[in-house]
Amino acid sequence: MDHSAVDMSVDLSAASGSPAAGGATVAAVLAVKSLHRAKSRLAATLASAFGHDDPTTRGWLVLAMFLDTVEALRGAGVSRVVVVSPDDDVLAAAQRAGTHGLPEVVSPPAGPGLNVAFGHGARWARETWPDSTRVVFVQADLPAATSDSMREVLQEAPAHRLSFLTDRDGTGTVLLHGTFTPDDPGALDDAPRFGPGSAAAHRAAGAVELDPAHTRWTDLRTDVDTATDLDAARALGLGPHTADALRRL
């Protein structure tokens, strides 16, 4: 894939490398699909708005949104970030962005999937950074996310062992936060329940919803899967990588 349409550099000067909140080091886990399969629901939007659509075009956009999500995390002081993906281009971009790229491992009978990838990343983070007592699973398509909102969420999340933030319509999940316990350090590996109806699934699993009135952190809640999502993110203000990618389409 030609990456010339996306600025792959990331300014890490805002990242202090210090814990995001609470005196505990946070490890962030992101999972990204193969770029050729990503964001098929945006195909009609790109074709209508720009006169063309192909997997490469969408791949540029996916990488750009991923980079803006990473910058929001790093700006919030999260220096330990691992990205799980089956795509070599994603893993290379992750390394260039100063994060750790981890090849997705498909283990039958679970097969591939977002939650399997998140669990794999959590295990790797726990083994690599044993002093990280907190993990945050973050959707990688949050182009309007700001470091201020990310920092605020990470400051409030430790009040509960397991907590989550919903998307704009309240049915999906954009972020899941958990704290490791000494007696069961692997408990969070199976905590992610991302996918259709994930908010209800996380709630049923005992996670506490952050801001259940949905009055805060609109930028973090705006993940992008459809034309409506992209318009909402534009209205809030896109991160520099996503804005640049769209200008180049």
Give, in order, the Cα–Cα distances in Å from 45 to each of 40, 41, 131, 139, 206: 10, 8, 44, 21, 37
Residue 120 burial (C-beta neighbours within 10 Å; 0-12, 13-18, 19+): buried
Q: Is 133 helix (H, G, I), strand (E, B) or coil?
A: coil
Bridge-based pairing of strands 162-166 and 208-209 is: parallel
Give, in order, the Cα–Cα distances in Å from 232 to each of 95, 228, 238: 29, 6, 10
Q: Is 195 annotated as a binding residue?
A: yes
Helix (H) or strand (E) holding 64, with range, is helix 55-75
Residue type, 155: Q
Q: Is 198 annotated as a binding residue?
A: yes
Closest CA to 164 of 175, 153, 178: 175
Q: Say how far apart CA 244 and CA 249 lie, in whole Å.
A: 9
Q: Is 17 annotated as a binding residue?
A: no
Q: Say how far apart CA 109 and CA 74 lie, in whole Å.
A: 35
Binding residues: 173, 195, 198
Q: Which residues are annotated as a binding site for phosphoenolpyruvate?
A: 173, 195, 198
